[in-house]
Amino acid sequence: MSTLEKSGYHHGDLRAALLSAAMEMLESGEPFSLRAVARRAGVSQTAPYRHFKDRDALESALAVEGFRNLLADLGGGRDLPAALPDLAEFAVTYVDFALRRPALFRVMFGKPCDDAADERVKAADALHELLADALDRVLPDADASALATAGWGLAHGLACLYLDGKLQAGSSKEVADRVRSAFLAITSVGP
């Protein structure tokens, strides 16, 4: 039983209640539909349609929340990286997020975004911008956008290799060491 069911939801912030119920279901491995989410949130079966036209729209909203959570993990109130080892910690944080929240991570990246106005596109762009800003600070003479794409690709690839069982996770320290080493190996290669 969700916290929403226990407290008896009474039409406060319906969208937030539906997202919370959907996130609980997603992360617990329960399959969900708009009707199942409505049941979990304690609202009528038609209530979700006020905010989400279909399951894809709900998943997209969950993906946006996921990107915001990942950005918060990466930012964490700290300064932008000042050196390559600091940048490697971005990759470590990214992979850690994927391993802690695999279902959400798959929703975030499992489907293409609709168009440039899509909230999902904007949320993903914010992640890319953070990486580009960090890289620009550490490597001011490099193409920050290209390096951000490469760094994101490396971290994402490692996350997927772990999630798909192609790399054995072992302890979180072992994962962090491997991600850090891979990132530093790629960024240390010069002409």
Domain boundaries, the chain: 3-50, 55-188
Instruction: Tell me the fold of 55-188.
Output: Tetracycline Repressor; domain 2 (1.10.357)
Q: pLDDT below 50 — which residues of the chain?
A: 1-9
- The per-residue pLDDT for range 60-94, each reduced to its tens digit, is 899 999 999 999 999 877 788 888 888 899 999 99
CA distance 177 to 3: 37
pTM of the predicted model over 0.75: yes
Do the beta carbons of residue 144 and residue 133 sit within 8 Å?
A: yes
Q: Cβ of 107: how many Cβ atoms within 10 Å? A: 22
Q: Residue 116: what pLDDT?
A: 55
- Backbone torsions φ then ψ of 100, nearest 5 degrees: -80, -30
Q: Maximum distance among all alpha carbons in the chain?
A: 63
Closest by CA to 147, choosing from 91, 67, 94, is: 91
- What's the confidence (pLDDT) of residue 114? 63
- All residues at 6 or more sequence positions from 12 whose CB lies less than 8 Å from its CB, including other chains: none
